[in-house]
Each structure stands twice: as structure tokens, then as C-alpha cells.
């Protein structure tokens, strides 16, 4: 388990953007009305957002980044690091972050690269960007997370279609001497690499004539090999087994009592899973916000989407200690404890 702390890194601002196009799971007619009720009750997901048209993750990110830079009053020439965490890049090659560097009008001195992570991506991203700021490699950075998951899912796959939602979020980080340290605990387990997977389109399984052929995997689950395949039971078991001990280990490494934490922001996977984890950790429900009812599982963007959607007012009251925890595809998981103080949190933006 990699446990470490970062110093002199401040989260200056957060923005998030979702498509205006809202899809209700009550209209998901691929399954029976009875199954639909059980699905909504179990996952907690009432509605999702899907881009309506050809939009990509860089299109959404561009709007959220421009708005955040302007509201923070940052000078674009000072931004020396841009990291995009996504599993739905604009192209396979080159990295989408580099396209964004140009579209945002950032300087050529700006470092830009992509990271291929999903559900754990926000926590990993904070650690990567935070490390580069802490080391002095960068002074001001944008960390962007997000996926256009809807483009990689078959609507006839009941195990995935009603869960995932599109979004992007931008976090602005900067060097700030003496701000409270952030603590991290990051883990991975490649034994579970098939639990969430897109099989074709890489070098292992190049696109072939079989790639786009739809297969009925089981009743209600039809997909092709270029679409996401999710093993819900394996992911569920993994999350129940690993998330709570990871968080307990992180808190104990940084001598933090649970009572000191103001809010716990978890990856929004599904309500049954998250609530089982919350009860295992014995956390009060008032400190564990959910945005999945409205925005579903937005992959690496769930944590900032939840902050923007549920905690804007509370976080404006003064400094607050937050624990973030992300877990899923990889398998990859991690948690961190951060202090937010005077962090600019913009209202939810919509992609029209």
C-alpha cells in the first residue's frame, strides 16, 4: 500500500460540467417495470446525463476549464501543468490533454499528458498533480477528469447502460506554502483486470470483423466487443472487501479520527454498494453526500461532481476536512484526506 503525504499544495477551484440532455431510468424500457423499480432502488440512480451529438471529453472539459480559469482570475500563461484523466479520449493517439493545451491557449511551457484511469482517477489525479506541484515541477495546474461513457455502452446492456453518465470536471491546484498537508493511500490489483473492460480496439485485440458484432451474453445483456463489459458481482465484492480497510489504513497513518472529518465523498458507484461501505465504516449519513440519484456514475468525475452538486454551500462556510475515496476499473482504488479552504466551487455547468 502506497501511503504518503503532500505538502504546500492547495486546491484553488473546482468546476464540473454535465450534458443538459437528461435520461430517466424510469424510461429504461429494455427491462420490465418491476426490474426497473428494483434497479432504481438498488443503484439509487434515477436519471443520467448523456451527450446528444458528437461531443467529446475535451469539448466538455474546455468549457469547464475556461470558466474556472476566468472565475479564479488565473493568467493562462502561468498554468504549467495540464493532466487529463480519462478512458474515453478524443483519439487513441495523441493524448487529448495536449489537444486541450492548445484549445485552451495555454503556453508551450505547459506540460500535458493523459492518465488512463476511471473510478479511482480523481484520487490518483490529485496525487500525481499534487506531487508535481509539491516537488516544484509546477506552480499552477489543471487536473481534468471525465468520460463520455455513453458512447462506449450498449443501451441493450442492462448491467451497464442504466448506471453510467457523461461528465467532466476541472480542479485547479497551486503551490501554496504552509497549507495543510494532504494524505494518500493508493492501491491496485491487476488480477481483476477483466471486471470492467473494453475488449477490442487495443493492440491485444485489434479491431476486426468480429468487433462490432452484437452478442447476447445473457438475458438483457447485449453488447459488442468495443463496448464496456461489467461484472457487477466481482466489482461489488471487491469494493466491499477493499475500500473500508484502505480508508481505515489511510486515517490511521495520518493519525486522523473519523470525527475530525467533515465530509466523506465517495465514488458514486451504486447506492447499495456505497451504503454498505458507509455502514461498515460507521459513518453518519449526514456527512456522506450522494449525487448519483441525479448524475449516475460519471466515472472519474463522480467526486468533483458530488462536491459541486451537494457541497457548494457547506464548503463556503470555512475550512473543511474531506476524505475522498475512488474504487473500480483496474482494479484500482485509493483514498485521500484533504483540507479545502477558500476553494472556489462553481455551480454545475451544462453542455448544450
- Considering the complex, state which of residue 231 and residue 256 has its C-beta at the smaller distance from other proteins: 231
Binding segment toward other proteins, per CB under 8 A, in 54-62, 118-126, 268-276, 334-342: 268-276
List, in sequence order, the alpha helices (H) in the chain: 33-43, 57-72, 96-103, 121-134, 232-253, 271-280, 292-295, 302-310, 312-315
CA distances from 71 to 66, 68, 209, 343, 346 (A): 9, 5, 49, 12, 8
C-alpha cell at 99: 489537444
- Choosing from 231, 256, 293, 339, the residue that interacts with other proteins (CB under 8 A) is 231
The verdict on 207 binding other proteins (CB under 8 A) reads no
CB neighbour class for 276 (10 Å; exposed up to 12, middle 13-18, buried from 19): middle
x-or-dash pattern for other proteins, window 234-253, by CB under 8 A? x-xx--xx------------
What are the residues facing 146 on neighbouring strands? Answer: 168
Are the C-beta atoms of residues 166 and 150 closer than 8 Å to each other? yes
For residues 272 and 318, what is the distance between their CA atoms, to the nearest angstrom?
32
Span between the terminal Cα atoms of the chain, in Å: 42
Q: How far is the CB of 275 from other proteins (least distance, A)?
A: 8
- Considering the complex, state which of residue 109 and residue 241 has its C-beta at the smaller distance from other proteins: 241
- Considering the complex, state which of residue 20 and residue 272 has its C-beta at the smaller distance from other proteins: 272
Q: How far is the CB of 191 from other proteins (least distance, A)?
A: 13
Classify residue 3 as left (phi > 0), alpha (psi -120 to 50) or beta: beta
Instruction: Tell whether the torsion through CA atoms of 280, 341, 296 and 147 is positive or negative.
Output: negative
Q: How far is the CB of 244 from other proteins (least distance, A)?
A: 10
CA distances from 13 to 18, 103, 130, 278, 317 (A): 17, 20, 14, 27, 15
- Considering the complex, state which of residue 176 and residue 276 has its C-beta at the smaller distance from other proteins: 276
C-alpha cell at 244: 473500508
Q: How far is the CB of 28 from other proteins (least distance, A)?
A: 13
The verdict on 26 binding other proteins (CB under 8 A) reads no
Q: How far is the CB of 198 from other proteins (least distance, A)?
A: 20
- Choosing from 21, 276, 293, 314, the residue that interacts with other proteins (CB under 8 A) is 276
Q: How far is the CB of 250 from other proteins (least distance, A)?
A: 20
For residues 37 and 32, what is the distance between their CA atoms, to the nearest angstrom?
9
Q: How far is the CB of 314 from other proteins (least distance, A)?
A: 29
Cell numbers 468495443: residue? 226
- Considering the complex, state which of residue 17 and residue 243 has its C-beta at the smaller distance from other proteins: 243
The residues in 135-164 that bind other proteins, with binding defined as CB under 8 A, are 159
The verdict on 273 binding other proteins (CB under 8 A) reads yes
DSSP tag of 85: E
- Beta-strand (E) ranges in the chain? 2-6, 9-19, 22-24, 47-49, 81-85, 111-115, 140-147, 167-175, 182-188, 196-197, 215-218, 221-223, 229-230, 263-266, 320-328, 332-340, 344-345, 349-351
The residues in 47-106 that bind other proteins, with binding defined as CB under 8 A, are none
Q: How far is the CB of 131 from other proteins (least distance, A)?
A: 33
Count residues near other proteins (CB under 8 A): 18
The residues in 29-58 that bind other proteins, with binding defined as CB under 8 A, are 35, 38-39, 42
Q: How far is the CB of 234 from other proteins (least distance, A)?
A: 6
Judged by the rule CB under 8 A, the positions of this chain that interact with other proteins are 35, 38-39, 42, 159, 231-234, 236-237, 240-241, 272-273, 276, 279-280
Amino acid at each position: 500500500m502506497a501511503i504518503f503525504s503532500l505538502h504546500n499544495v492547495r486546491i484553488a477551484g473546482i468546476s464540473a460540467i454535465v450534458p443538459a440532455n437528461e435520461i430517466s431510468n424510469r424510461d429504461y424500457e429494455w427491462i420490465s417495470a418491476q426490474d426497473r423499480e428494483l434497479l432504481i432502488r438498488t443503484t439509487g440512480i434515477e436519471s443520467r446525463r448523456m451527450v446528444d451529438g458528437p461531443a467529446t471529453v475535451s469539448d466538455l472539459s474546455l468549457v469547464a476549464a475556461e470558466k474556472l480559469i476566468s472565475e479564479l482570475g488565473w493568467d493562462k500563461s502561468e498554468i504549467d501543468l495540464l493532466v487529463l484523466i480519462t478512458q474515453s479520449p478524443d483519439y487513441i493517439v495523441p493524448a487529448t490533454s495536449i489537444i486541450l493545451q492548445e484549445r485552451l491557449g495555454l503556453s508551450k511551457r505547459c506540460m500535458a499528458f493523459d492518465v488512463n484511469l476511471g473510478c479511482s482517477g480523481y484520487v490518483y489525479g490529485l496525487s500525481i498533480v499534487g506531487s508535481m506541484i509539491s516537488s516544484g515541477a509546477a506552480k499552477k495546474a489543471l487536473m481534468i477528469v471525465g468520460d463520455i461513457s455513453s458512447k462506449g455502452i450498449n443501451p441493450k446492456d442492462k448491467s451497464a447502460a442504466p448506471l453510467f453518465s457523461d461528465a467532466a470536471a476541472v480542479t485547479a491546484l497551486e503551490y501554496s506554502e504552509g497549507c495543510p498537508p494532504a494524505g494518500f493511500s493508493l492501491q491496485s490489483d491487476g488480477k481483476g483486470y477483466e471486471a470492467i473492460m473494453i475488449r477490442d480496439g487495443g493492440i491485444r485485440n485489434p479491431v476486426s470483423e468480429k468487433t462490432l458484432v452484437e452478442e447476447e451474453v445473457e438475458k438483457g445483456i447485449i453488447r459488442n466487443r468495443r463496448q464496456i463489459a461489467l461484472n457487477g458481482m466481482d466489482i461489488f465484492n471487491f469494493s466491499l472487501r477493499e475500500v473500508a480497510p484502505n480508508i481505515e489504513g489511510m486515517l490511521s497513518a495520518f493519525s486522523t479520527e473519523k470525527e475530525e472529518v467533515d465530509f466523506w465523498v465517495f465514488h458514486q458507484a451504486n447506492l447499495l454498494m456505497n451504503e454498505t461501505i458507509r455502514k461498515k465504516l460507521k459513518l453518519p449519513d449526514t456527512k456522506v453526500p450522494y449525487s448519483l440519484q441525479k448524475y449516475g456514475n460519471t466515472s472519474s468525475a463522480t467526486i468533483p461532481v458530488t462536491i459541486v452538486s451537494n457541497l457548494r454551500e457547506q464548503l463556503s462556510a470555512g475550512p473543511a476536512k474531506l476524505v475522498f475515496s475512488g474504487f473500480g476499473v483496474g482494479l484500482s482504488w485509493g483514498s485521500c484526506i484533504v483540507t479545502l479552504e477558500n476553494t472556489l466551487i462553481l455551480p454545475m455547468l451544462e453542455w448544450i
